[in-house]
């Protein structure tokens, strides 16, 4: 794109300031709100963004100061169709008025409809579903199901994984949050994180040898195991780890290793599911059917909705063995109606195809940025999920967290939010996942903002 045909820095700065903020909250003092948040809000493990968000619409969020910010992380990677989608709003309004919450033993049409639509989108062997609120909750339920079905208790997770913060889910994740609480669930075991950019497992030509890494990992698991391996839980793209995509063939080999040991394979599609990666589910990319599939985030378009899907056989055995995951909001009709509408819209509007097409543009654009800026060590991802890793040197691959933060801050000031993963377990990585309704024009606009952020940040190494 030639400079004469693209937006300039001044044009972007002007565009991000707007009086058209679709907000319920007007004439607010951001500084005053920040002081109140510091006084009254309990910290739960994160630093709050400096701006209070007072509105959201489509691909944008709006601050108390009137700034318009392109949301390239879909909220918490959840608003698959964008903020305030009119059909989703209508479903919420209708069901809030007429069919919102029920006794957990009651069933309703939205729940039945969602189960039918979801199971019909999935391969045979994923035949029965029930619905909860969060991804952590669905993984908790899936792990318990695997333990009840197999009669065993050891759970294998991947290094740098994120599956939730409740007991069994936290025990199977190795990204963050394990410290400070004493012993976790017994039987938690770990495979090496499949990090193709940094792994020490290399072939003679320098390429990533994930098979040798996996074999080494399973040999360690077998030595540690007390003979009670129940399941392995995995993400197809390790988002919190820095958007690392499982290598081609990895998921298929992982299932073979599980079957060899009498284990179940659980796939956590919290972020990758429902079209995000250019397939209706990420498991379709390699045609692997897990024993249990969990969904959350994208299924509810920002509302708390998650799913556990498994086979009739596993359900039958678990029923015989008194499996129970009975919660206050299991199979609630209102969020289920939203999930059903999300799946309907994704199918009806060809949004999986849009994710594929826009993903190609996104990755091509990020590749050009890598060619231009020496601080970009790696670009990875699939479909409308992408990671951009910032390093001090491409030779040493040493993360540069300070530079990454300065670039992220500059992008935000210019009107683009692309969540920066700054924890030491993965270094400075931009995690990009815009709504799959994004247009080419909107995508190119975001890429241009990101380019200007790199250009105007000292030390980014443009050439």
- Alpha carbons within 13 angstroms on the beta-carbon side of residue 382 total 24
Catalytic residue, chosen from 297, 380, 382, 406, is 297
CB atoms within 10 A of CB 322: 7
Give one DSSP letter per residue of 233-269, joined into a string: EE-SEETTTTSEEPPTTHHHHHHHHHHHTT-EEEEE-
- The token pair at 168 is 């069994």
Q: Is 162 a catalytic residue?
A: yes
Catalytic residue, chosen from 7, 213, 235, 389, is 235
CB contact at 8 A, 311 and 287: no
CB atoms within 10 A of CB 150: 19
Whole-angstrom distance, CA of residue 269 vs CA of residue 79: 15
**447-461 burial code (b ≥16 CB/10 A, e <16):** bbbbbbbbebbeebb
Catalytic residue, chosen from 268, 340, 389, 451, is 268
Q: Is 235 a catalytic residue?
A: yes
Catalytic residue, chosen from 431, 442, 448, 451, is 431
Looking only at the bridges linking them, the beta strands covering 237-238 and 264-268 are unpaired
Q: How far is CA 166 from CA 180, 298, 364, 429, in A?
A: 14, 20, 38, 26
CB contact at 8 A, 342 and 311: no
Q: Is 400 a catalytic residue?
A: no
Q: Is 210 a catalytic residue?
A: no
Q: Is 47 a catalytic residue?
A: no
Catalytic residue, chosen from 271, 378, 389, 406, is 271
Looking only at the bridges linking them, the beta strands covering 237-238 and 244-245 are antiparallel
- Alpha carbons within 13 angstroms on the beta-carbon side of residue 367 total 9
Catalytic residue, chosen from 7, 71, 162, 261, is 162
Burial of 242 (0-12, 13-18, 19+ CB in 10 A): buried
Q: Is 431 a catalytic residue?
A: yes
Q: Would you please indicate which residues are annotated as catalytic (active-site) residues?
A: 162, 235, 268, 271, 297, 431
């Amino acid at each position: 794109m030639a400079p004469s045909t693209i937006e300039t820095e001044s044009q972007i700065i002007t565009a991000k300031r707007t009086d058209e903020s679709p907000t319920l909250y007007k004439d607010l003092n951001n500084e005053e709100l920040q002081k109140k948040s510091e006084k009254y809000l309990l910290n739960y493990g994160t630093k709050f963004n400096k701006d209070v968000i007072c509105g959201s619409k489509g691909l944008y969020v709006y601050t108390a100061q009137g700034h318009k910010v392109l949301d390239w992380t879909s909220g918490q990677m959840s608003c698959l169709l964008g903020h305030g989608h009119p059909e989703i709003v209508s479903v919420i309004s209708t069901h809030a008025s007429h069919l919102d919450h029920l006794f957990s033993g009651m069933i309703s049409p939205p729940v039945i409809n969602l189960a039918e639509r979801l199971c019909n989108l999935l391969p045979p062997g994923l035949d029965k579903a029930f619905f909860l609120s969060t991804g952590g909750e669905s993984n908790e339920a899936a792990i318990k199901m695997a333990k009840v079905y197999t009669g065993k208790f050891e759970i294998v997770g991947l290094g740098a994984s994120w599956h939730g913060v409740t007991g069994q889910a936290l025990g199977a994740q190795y990204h963050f949050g394990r410290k400070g609480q004493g012993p976790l669930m017994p039987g938690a075991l770990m495979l090496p994180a499949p990090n193709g950019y940094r792994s020490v497992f290399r072939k003679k030509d320098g390429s990533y040898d994930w098979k040798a890494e996996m074999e080494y990992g399973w040999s360690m698991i077998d030595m540690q195991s007390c003979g009670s391996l129940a399941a392995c839980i995995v993400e197809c793209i390790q988002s919190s780890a820095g958007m690392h995509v499982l290598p081609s063939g990895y998921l298929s080999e992982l299932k073979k290793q599980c079957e060899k040991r009498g284990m179940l394979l659980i796939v956590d599609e919290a972020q990758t599911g429902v079209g995000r990666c250019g397939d209706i589910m990420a498991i379709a990319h390699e045609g692997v059917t897990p024993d249990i599939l969990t969904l959350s985030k994208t299924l509810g378009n920002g509302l708390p909705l998650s799913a556990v899907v498994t086979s009739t056989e596993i359900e039958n055995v678990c029923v015989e063995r008194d499996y129970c995951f009975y919660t206050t909001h299991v199979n609630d009709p209102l969020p289920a109606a939203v999930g059903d509408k999300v799946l309907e819209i994704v199918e009806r509007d060809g949004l999986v195809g849009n994710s594929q097409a826009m993903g190609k543009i996104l990755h091509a654009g990020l590749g050009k940025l890598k060619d231009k800026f020496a601080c970009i060590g790696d670009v990875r991802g699939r479909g409308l999920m992408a990671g951009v890793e910032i390093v001090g040197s491409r030779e040493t691959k040493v993360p540069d967290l300070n530079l990454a933060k300065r670039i992220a801050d500059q992008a935000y000031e210019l009107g683009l939010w692309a969540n920066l993963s700054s924890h030491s377990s993965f270094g400075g990585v931009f995690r990009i996942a815009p709504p799959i309704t994004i247009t080419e024009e909107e995508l190119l606009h975001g890429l241009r903002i990101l380019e200007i952020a790199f250009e105007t940040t000292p030390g980014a190494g443009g050439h």
